[in-house]
Amino acid sequence: MSGMRTALSFVLGLCLGGVAASIYRAAPSTSAPESVASSSALPAPPADSDFDCEGVRAALALESEMRLRLTEEVERLEDRLPEYADEPSLEPGPKPEAAASHVSDASAHSTAESEKPWFSDSDLLALGMDPREVERIRLRWEQYTMDKLYLADARARDEKPSKGARLRELMEIERAVREDLGEESYDALLWATGSRNRVVLTDVLETSPAAAAGIRKGDEVIRYAGRRVWRPKGLTSFTRTGKRGEIVELQVLRDGELLRFFLARGPLGVRPSRQKRPPLLGSP
């Protein structure tokens, strides 16, 4: 893009320079006293009949023609802008060795991602899932994915004027697939698509209600007050709903064992993180 702007500036300079030169040649060669020439005030137009009006008209006509040509040239160059969309940046960057390493790493990552299936049936079959259930999950996932694609298409076409309405519709799509599949199969869907499907506590405040109840760093949160937890924001939302201070059950997975803790609804004093873990088949 910087090369394109330089070219446009160059063309503009050439054309304006040509216009200025043409006007200079067409202007009358009347001489003015040195005192007037050196003055910052503009000289009064000559009062005699020798003033070359035709020359000025010719210069103005030439200027109009050059402006038209300039406009046409700019439009032509703007039409070619897409050709320069991938033009390398001339701004300072990493050293060649570092840049080459970065490109190599990015290429390897891109290749790995392209080779990974969008939905991996084999990952679910390896867990011992019934092939018919795997097929049901895949078909529901395809419908779910197309629903999100249609929503994104409508957003790009500005067919959804309200951002809040789009968000609610996306949440509805998510809720519908969870209800259709159930917790276990939805968990399997996330695993098969390489999505993060578990909320893990990366830290617990020592003086927090969670620590007092016996919850530890590394615990995987499964349910809060009977509701399955899929995202950190979901856990936070659950702690803020209902009656504050009421005793609720928090289920966590620790070393493969499901543990139950009871504590007052409200802030837990934990730092949750969304991570990828094997689905809970035959979930408790």
pLDDT digits 0-9 by tens, 229-277: 999 999 999 999 999 899 999 999 999 999 999 999 999 999 999 999 9
Instruction: List the domain range (segments joined by +) for residue 62.
Output: 1-27+52-90
Domain for residue 216, yes or no?
Answer: yes
Backbone φ and ψ of 252, nearest 5°:
-130, 155
**Does 184 share its domain with 262?**
no
List the helix and strand counts (H, then E) for the chain. 9, 6
**Does 9 share its domain with 84?**
yes
| Predicted pLDDT at 217 | 97
For residues 188 and 84, the model is more confident at 188
Domain for residue 32, yes or no?
Answer: no
Q: Which of 41-45, 56-60, 187-191, 269-273 has the lowest mean pLDDT?
A: 41-45
**Does 9 share its domain with 64?**
yes
Domain for residue 85, yes or no?
Answer: yes
Please, are residues 232 and 273 in contact by the beta-carbon 8 Å criterion? yes
**Does 226 share its domain with 173?**
no
Domain for residue 9, yes or no?
Answer: yes
Angle between helices 131-156 and 163-192 in degrees, nearest 10: 150
Residue 199 has pLDDT above 60, yes or no: yes
Domain for residue 241, yes or no?
Answer: yes
Domain for residue 78, yes or no?
Answer: yes
Residue 232 belongs to domain with CATH number: 2.30.42.10
Residue 65 has pLDDT above 80, yes or no: no
Of 170, 192, 214, which residue is a domain's last? 192
Give residues with Cβ within 8 angstroms of 148, minimum separation 6: 170, 173
Domain for residue 41, yes or no?
Answer: no
Q: Report yes or no on whether pTM surpasses 0.95.
A: no
| Predicted pLDDT at 227 | 95
**Does 212 share its domain with 158?**
no
Domain for residue 45, yes or no?
Answer: no
What is the number of domains present in the chain?
Answer: 3
pLDDT digits 0-9 by tens, 94-114: 444 444 455 555 555 555 555
Strand ranges, E, within 152-226: 198-204, 220-224
